[in-house]
Amino acid sequence: MTIAVAYAGGESSKAALRVAVAEARLRKMTLVVISTTSGRDYETPRYGGEDTLHDLELSLRATGVSFVIRQPIASDVVEGVLEEAERVRATLLVVGLRRRSAVGKVLLGSLAQQMVLDASMPVLAVPPAVVESHG
């Protein structure tokens, strides 16, 4: 059994990762960190390169939680995360939320919101207040 976390490297992802580690430890489950890209974004911060992954691995090793890092390539980031979470049979998906203005929500949409609405498993959404309190 696994806990999955959508990870893009930003502060909301780091907060979601902290929560996911705690959940995996509490439930004695493996943590699957999912960092996906559309294939055009290899150089963006949303897709962890070798240095980022090395730092992430070191950080996760220190937690004592069993983990796997997955980097699926998908035409749609949300679909990539959700398909990978289903593939690993995640019992819970953890996502971080960012604080955005009302206009930003309308114009840009939200990847986390899409994940919450489209996921076939329960989703734990880590609110901006948790992100900001640890930032």
pLDDT digit string (tens) for the chain, length 135 residues:
899 999 988 888 899 999 999 999 999 999 999 998 876 654 444 445 555 788 899 999 999 999 999 999 998 999 999 999 999 999 999 999 877 666 555 544 588 889 999 999 999 999 877 656 665
**Distance between CA atoms of 30 and 132, rounded to whole angstroms?**
26
Report the pLDDT value the prediction gives residue 46, as an integer from 0 to 100: 47
Task: Check residue 109 and give its pLDDT.
Answer: 55
Instruction: Quote the tokens at residue 15.
Output: 């907060």
Of 84, 68, 65, which is closest to residue 27 (Cα–Cα)? 65
Measured distance CA(70)–CA(4) in Å, rounded:
10
The pLDDT score that the predictor gives to residue 104 is 52
Superfamily for the 2-130 domain: HUPs (3.40.50.620)
Vertex 120 angle, CA 112 and 107, to 5° = 25
Residue-level pLDDT at 45: 46
| pLDDT at position 132 | 62
Crossing angle, helix 111-118 and helix 77-87, to 10 degrees?
40
Give the pLDDT score at 108.
46
> Which residues are paired to 73 by β-bridges?
37
